[in-house]
Amino acid sequence: MEQKNTQNARKRTRNLVITAIMAALIVVLQYLSTIIKVGPVNITLTLIPIVICSVFLGWKYGTALGLVFGVVVSIFSIIGLDPGGQMIFQANPALAWVLCLLKGAAAGFFPAVVFRFFSRNKRAAEVLMALSGVFIFLAGFFAGHLLSGSSVTANVLTAIISALVAGGYLVLINFALKKENSAYYLASMVAPVANTGIFIVGTLIFFRHVLQLWAGGSNVVIYVFTGVIMFNFLIEFTLAVLLAPAVATIVKAVRKRADK
């Protein structure tokens, strides 16, 4: 009994140390992301350590690290390192804090859930494709609702961009499912989806006037699709796919060492 308690204490200490190291890495990477940006929105590189922690340690540690990410993003926005984020905080500080913490927590929570499900469930591929279809349908319905009353050109352009994004998403999902480390790929891919998805929905609902300033007079929804999704999200999503093998290698190596 005493030996088991000692082992559990060592495990908790190890997990806390790993989480602290990843938290420090998040601060560094998020600072670097203030230099790398497309438009007013930063391209974050901090999702990779969040995914590693979430997959290796579980959803509790992943969510905690995601909250750290949300706090760092909020602080950087408040002090002006992220001008786009600063505009959101100036508009409504309380809602901005909630949005940053929520999208960060989701980016840490969902990779652990997805990894656990897809590494153990043999029917996971069918479930994923079904959920993807529902997600794409709802996204299209939401975009159509936002574009009601917009010009024909705006509607056609949004439909084309939506089709390209949905097609590319399904191709990447199919690619990930065929890989040996498919659970790692999918866990890495869900982090930017949760992070950017919650950010887009939150800003469209609560900070539409800020998006209008970012858009510079152009259609807000078109700007979201061409600016945030076509550039920021796709870059983050592509990085997640490319770095998924590295995530798998790191997690497996750490687990192997921890089991010794």
pTM to 2 decimals?
Answer: 0.76
Among 17-31, 47-61, 148-162, 231-245, the range scoring the smallest mean pLDDT is: 148-162
pLDDT of residue 17: 86
**The two structure tokens encoding residue 86:** 């600063």
CA dihedral 204, 31, 29, 92 (to 10 degrees): -20
Domains of the chain: 2-259 (1.10.1760.20)
Q: What is the pLDDT of residues 222-240, one digit of tens each?
A: 666 666 665 677 777 777 7
Identify the helix (H) or strand (E) that includes residue 159. Answer: helix 152-177
CA–CA distance, 168 with 53 (Å, rounded to integer): 27
CA dihedral 120, 245, 58, 20 (to 10 degrees): 170
Q: Is 27 exposed, middle or buried (0-12, 13-18, 19+ CB in 10 A)?
A: middle
Q: What is the pLDDT of residues 145-183, one digit of tens each?
A: 555 555 556 556 656 666 666 666 666 666 656 655 677
CA–CA distance, 195 with 66 (Å, rounded to integer): 10
